[in-house]
A and B are shown apart, each in its own frame.
Chain A
Amino acid sequence: MLTYILRRLLYSIPVLIAASFLIFMAVSAMGDPLAELELNPLASEETIANVREKKHLDDPLVVQYGYWVKDAVTNGFGTPLLTEEPIWNDLKRVIPHTLALVLAAELIALLVGVSIGIYSAIRQYSLFDYSATTLSFLGFAMPVFWLALMLQIAFTNLFLAWNVRIFYTSGLSSVDPGTGIHWLLDRAQHLAIPVMVLAVLQIAIYSRYMRASLLEVVNSDYVRTARAKGLHENKVTMRHAVRNALIPVVTLSALSFGALIGGAVITETIFQLDGMGNYFIQNLFNQDVYPIMAWLMITATMIILFNLVADILYGVLDPRVRYD
C-alpha cells in the first residue's frame, strides 16, 4: 500500500510537469500579455519596455517557460503584469475561503445525496423515487448562476420587505463580524446560500449515482445470502448492500472536485466572495495572463491530489482492488 502511494506520488510529478507545460503554452498562445497594455493610452513606452524586460518577453517561448517555472518555485509564481506583489500572496488569502466553501458543499451534498439515493433505491418506483428523479433532472438542467441569482433575489427581498435577515446575500462577512462564536455564526450566515447553490447539482449527481449503484448491488449473491440467513431487512441494506454501493460514490466525490472549483467560479462571482473564483474572473477581465496561469496551476495540482486520494480510497474501501 505504502509503496503504491509513493509510486503514485512519483507518477504525479511528470503529470504535473506536463500540465504546467500545457497551461503555459496554451495561455501564451491565446493571450498576448502586452495586448491590453498596448491599447491603454496611460501606459507609457517605458512601462511596456519594463514589463517586456521583467517577463523576458523577447526570449523564445521555451525559455520564457523556464523563467516562469523558476518564478513559480522560488518566488511565489512571480508577480502580476504591473504590480510587484507576488501572486502567491493573493492566492494564499483566497484559497482557504474557496476550500471552506467547496468542502462544506461537498459534505452536505454527500450526506443529502446519498440518503436520497438509498431511499430511492429501497423504495424503487415509489412516489418518493419519482419525485427525486424529477428533481435531479431539474438540477441537471438548471444553470448554476441562475439558481444563485434567484436565491439572492429571494433573500434580498425577504430582508428589504420584512426586514428578516436569515442569510446574507453577498460578501464573506459583515463590516463588524465580532469574534469567536459570533464570527463563526456570521460567516455561516454569509456562506449558507453559496454552499446551497454549489451543493444542488452535486446532490442531483450523487443521488442518481447512489441509486443506480445500490440497485446493482441489491441483486448480488451475498445480499441474497444475508437475507437467507434471516437478517433483518434494515441490516441487510445498511450493513451489507450500502457499504459496497458507496464505493463508486466516494470515488466520484473525490473526482468531482474539479467540477466544484469550476462551479465555485460562478457562485463566488455572484455572491462577491473573496475566493479563488472571484480572483480568477477579475484577472480574466484585466487580461493578465500571469495570475491566470498560477491559478490554473494551483487548481491542477489540487485536482491531481484529489484524484490520488480517490485512487487510494478505492483501494482502502474495496479490498478486491489489488495494487501491483
Chain B
Amino acid sequence: MTDHSLESDRTLASQGALGPAALDDRSLAYESGLEVETRSQWTYARRRFMRHRLAVGSLIVLILVLGAGLGASWVAPYPYDGIDLENSGVGPTFDNWHLFGTDLLGRDYFSRVLYGIQTSVQVAFIVALLAVVIGTAVGAVAGYYSAWVDNGLMRFTDLMLTLPGLAVLLTAAAFLGHGSPYRVAIILGFLLWTTLARIVRGQFLSLREKDYIDAARAAGAGDLRIMFRHMLPNCLGPIIVFATLTIGLAILLEASLSFLGFGIQPPTPALGLLIAQGQDVSTDMWWLVLCPGLTIVLIVLCINFVGDGLRDALDPTQRIRA
C-alpha cells in the first residue's frame, strides 16, 4: 500500500504540481542523455517526513535531550548523588547552575534528571526492541499460517483486553521486578507486543494473497524466505511507527511504575522515581515534582510528534489516531 501512494506522488509530480514546464525539462533531460535521478521508497518517505516541520523540529529537540541524557556524565554539572548540605532546598536558579533546584540533601536536580533520562530512555529502548521482535514474530506466524496459531493469538489478545493493563503490569512488576531496570524493561516488553502482533497479522493476511508471493513460491522460495524477505519489508512502515510510539508509552509506564514503588528502585535515578522522591516535600519544593515531570512531558511529546510524522511518511493510509 506504500507503493500506491508513491504512484500517486509520482503522477502528481509529473502532472499538476510541477506544471508543463517541469515536464518539458524532464523530456529535455532524457533527450540530451542526462542521468535521471532514481528515487527509492525510502527517499520518498524521507522527503515526506522532512516536509513535516513539527516532526523534524521534535526530532531535533529529542536528539538534543536524549544526547544530554546519554552523555550525562559529561554534560551534568554535578554527580547525581553529590550531597551539598549548604545548598539544600534551593529553587531553580542560575546560581551554581542549579537549573532545576536542589532537594533537601542539596543534590542538584538538573544533574539527577539528566541521569534519570539515561535510565528511563535505556529502559524504553529495550522495551520497544522486545515488543517489536515478539510482536513481529507472533504476528507474522499468525498471519502467514493462519491456523491454530492465529486463533490462539486472537483469543489470547481478546482475553488480555478483559484485564486492566496497568493493574496487570503493576502485579507483574511487584512480584517479578525487584527494582532492576532490566527486569522492569523485560516485563514491559512482554506485555506490550500484542498490538503490533495484530497489526503485522493484518498486513500478512492481505499480503499473503498477492501475486508476487505466488511468484516467489513458484520460484522455489521457502516459507521463511517469503516471510522475511518478501513480506516483512512491506510491513516495515507500521512496525517503525509502532516502535517509536512504544518508546513514548514505555517511558510513561515506567515512570508510573517507579513512582508507585514497583519499578526502578533507588539509588538508580529514573524520572518517575525522582518525582516520587520529591513528593514528600513537594508542598514547599514544588520544583522537585515540576522539573522531572516536565522533562517526561517534553520527551514523550516529541516522540509522539516524530511518530506522527513517521506515520504520515511511511504509512499514509493510516491517518486516524486511536
Residues of A near any B CB (own CB < 8 A): 15, 18-19, 22-23, 27, 30-31, 137-138, 140-146, 149-150, 152-153, 156-157, 160, 208-209, 212, 258-259, 261-263, 265-266, 269, 280-281, 284-285, 287, 292, 295-296, 299-300, 303-304, 307
Contact = CB atoms under 8 A, between A and B. Distances in A.
B42 to A, nearest CB: 27
A320 B250 CA distance: 39
B283 A19 contact: no
A108 B165 CA distance: 23
A242 B301 CA distance: 30
Interface string B246-257: 001000100110
A258 B261 contact: no
Interface residues of B, number: 43
Given A30-B176, A144-B256, A146-B275, A265 B159 contact: no
B260 A266 contact: yes
Contacts of B166: 259, 262-263, 265-266
A258 B301 contact: no
Interface string B57-83: 000000000000000000000000000
B162 to A, nearest CB: 5
Contacts of B158: 15
Given A145-B256, A146-B296, A30 B283 contact: no
Contact of A299 (B159, B167, B255, B262): B167
Interface in B158-185: 158-159, 161-168, 170-172, 174-176
Nearest to A270: B279
B296 A262 contact: no
B321 interface: yes
Nearest to B279: A149
A149 B275 contact: yes
A140 B304 contact: yes
B175 A153 contact: no
A19 B159 contact: yes
Which of A140, A141, A149, A284: most chain B CB closer than 10 A? A141
Contacts of A281: 170, 260
Interface string B277-294: 001001100100110010
A22 B159 contact: yes
Interface centre among B248, B272, B320 (most CB of A within 10 A): B320
26 contacts: A18-B159, A19-B159, A30-B171, A30-B175, A31-B171, A137-B301, A137-B304, A141-B248, A141-B297, A141-B300, A143-B296, A145-B256, A146-B293, A146-B296, A150-B289, A153-B282, A160-B283, A212-B319, A262-B165, A263-B166, A285-B261, A287-B175, A296-B171, A303-B164, A304-B162, A307-B162
B255 A296 contact: no
Given A23-B163, A259-B164, A296-B163, A141 B170 contact: no
Contacts of B170: 265, 280-281, 284
Nearest to A136: B321
A39 to B, nearest CB: 13
B204 interface: no
A156 B304 CA distance: 32
B174 A300 contact: no
Contacts of A212: 319-321
Nearest to A307: B162
A209 B322 CA distance: 7
B100 interface: no
Contact of A295 (B167, B172, B176, B259): B167
A15 B158 CA distance: 9
B305 interface: yes
Nearest to A208: B321
B171 A27 contact: yes
A227 B163 CA distance: 45
Interface centre among A22, A143, A262 (most CB of B within 10 A): A143
B171 A137 contact: no
Contacts of A304: 162
Nearest to B321: A208
A19 B255 contact: no
A19 B163 contact: yes
Contacts of A140: 300, 304
B162 A141 contact: no
A281 B257 CA distance: 11
Interface string B302-322: 001100000000000001111
Given A141-B252, A142-B300, A145-B256, 8 more contacts: A19-B159, A141-B297, A143-B255, A145-B272, A259-B165, A266-B256, A285-B261, A304-B162
Nearest to B298: A141
Contacts of B176: 30
B293 A153 contact: no
A96 B163 CA distance: 19
Contacts of B255: 143, 145-146
Interface string B231-257: 000000000000000001000100110
Contacts of A150: 289-290, 293
Given A30-B175, A266-B260, A287-B174, A138 B161 contact: no
Given A30-B172, A261-B167, A262-B167, A143 B321 contact: no
B297 A142 contact: yes
A140 B166 CA distance: 16
Contacts of B283: 153, 156-157, 160
Nearest to A299: B164
In the A-B complex, the 9 residue pairs with the smallest Cβ-Cβ separation, listed nearest first, are: A262-B166, A146-B293, A141-B300, A141-B301, A31-B175, A30-B175, A262-B164, A284-B174, A258-B164
Contacts of A263: 166
A321 to B, nearest CB: 19
A151 to B, nearest CB: 11
Given A258-B163, A262-B164, A284 B262 contact: yes
